[in-house]
Structure 1
Amino acid sequence: MADKPCVFCQIVAGESTAHEVWRDERIVAFLDTKPVFHGHVLMVPTVHIRTYDQLPIDLAEHWLTTSQRLQLAVQEAQGAEGSLILMNNIVSQSVPHLHLHVIPRVRKDGLRFWLGPRHPYASDEQAAETAARIKAALSLPA
């Protein structure tokens, strides 16, 4: 069974329309079709990359600097006090193509961005064991 075509790749290729706010040879940014708030923008690489860990190092600096410019532009254009910047990796990733959300925010805008339920460590020892596992995984070859 063939996978569905990637809607973001279709936008990049010009096969699907989008309200673009940025395009260069490596990145395209466009309005989200179901925005949290007006001005909610998605930024995607022009090559099909599924997850953040697959972002090539030679694209990473351009990704970072473009996202910073985009964040400031969204805030300025929308008169926002700040923004919510996020990426989902597989879980909650509605399109399996790396994309960064830039969502304009103002105080008391009604958005309840909930990171929960919280799961506190049962003890300092449990936290130390968790930290040790992550440190060990960081020492593995990439």
Structure 2
Amino acid sequence: MTSFVIKAHENRVLPAAWNTAPDCPFCRIVRGESQSYALYEDDMILAILDIMPLRFGHTLVIPKTHVSRVSELPDEFAAQCGIAVSKVARAISGALQNTALNVVCNQEYAQAVPHVHYHIIPAPRPDDAPAPALASMPVPGPDTQAGPPQLPDVVADPREARDRVAQPLTEKEMHRREYELRNTLEEDDARRLMASVRALLGVAPQKL
């Protein structure tokens, strides 16, 4: 498990523009009450490594003011978020030698923390393990009978066909599936990546 030994912020006085919420985990990090692996910070934005990443290098870019919906984010914070996302994505790409990534911002649906945040998620590398759906497909062998692929049975009743169509996941199901894909960020890995990204950003090493 990751041990939180890195103190990112100490005894800071918050600017009036920072509207923080007492129970928000991101606001606690902004106020210096919780620790994080900080990659980048300016007057309006904080970028930290996700401690339960979907993939190694998964980063959160967070405005320091507490707003739950990106559609309600003040213009000055929205503009600075865009600048920070670009800077941090460039540094993560350089540190991981992988320019492929996703940038995502959820609003309400799929939003685990009700504080605006952008996810920067490095894409899998070409040499990563294949997806389970492909890896588990049977490989034809010498005893396998050749022939065309088997198609599903034709459904005569349109209502039955409709029932076979995948239904959209509920928000609870979506959160559960995402959680199952996540891994715990190891401290040594986090420190090495943090040092690399901060160096590429020209940011001083974080005091441990």
The TM-score normalised by the length of structure 2 is 0.50
C-alpha contact (below 8 Å) 1:81/1:107 kept by paired residues: no
Match of 1:45 among 63, 79, 82: 63
Structure 1 stretches of at least 4 aligned residues deviating more than 3 Å after TM superposition: 106-112
C-alpha contact (below 8 Å) 2:22/2:28 kept by paired residues: no
How far did 1:104 drift?
1.2
How far did 1:32 drift?
0.3
Question: Which range moved further: 86-95 or 75-84?
Answer: 75-84
| Alpha-carbon distance in structure 2 between the residues aligned to 1:29 and 1:49 | 16
Per-residue displacement from partner, 1:33-66 (whole Å, max 9, x unpaired)? 1111111100100010101101111222211111
| Alpha-carbon distance in structure 1 between the residues aligned to 2:93 and 2:52 | 18
User: In the TM superposition, what are the counterparts of 1:1-142 in structure 2 within 5 Å?
Assistant: 5-108=23-126, 109=128
AA matched with 1:93: Q
SS at match of 2:103: strand
C-alpha contact (below 8 Å) 2:46/2:63 kept by paired residues: yes
Percent identical? 31
Alpha-carbon distance change, 111 to 20 in structure 1, aligned in 2, over 3 angstroms: farther
C-alpha contact (below 8 Å) 1:84/1:102 kept by paired residues: yes
How far did 1:95 drift?
0.6
- Count of paired positions: 113
Alpha-carbon distance change, 35 to 99 in structure 1, aligned in 2, over 3 angstroms: same
Give the root-mean-square deviation of aligned CA atoms: 2.3
Alpha-carbon distance change, 89 to 111 in structure 1, aligned in 2, over 3 angstroms: farther
Per-residue displacement from partner, 1:60-89 (whole Å, max 9, x unpaired)? 221111111111111111111311110111
Alpha-carbon distance change, 4 to 26 in structure 1, aligned in 2, over 3 angstroms: closer
AA matched with 2:68: R
How far did 1:23 drift?
1.1
| Alpha-carbon distance in structure 2 between the residues aligned to 1:12 and 1:101 | 17
| Alpha-carbon distance in structure 2 between the residues aligned to 1:110 and 1:17 | 33
Higher strand share: 1
The TM-score normalised by the length of structure 1 is 0.71
Flag the structure with larger Rg: 2
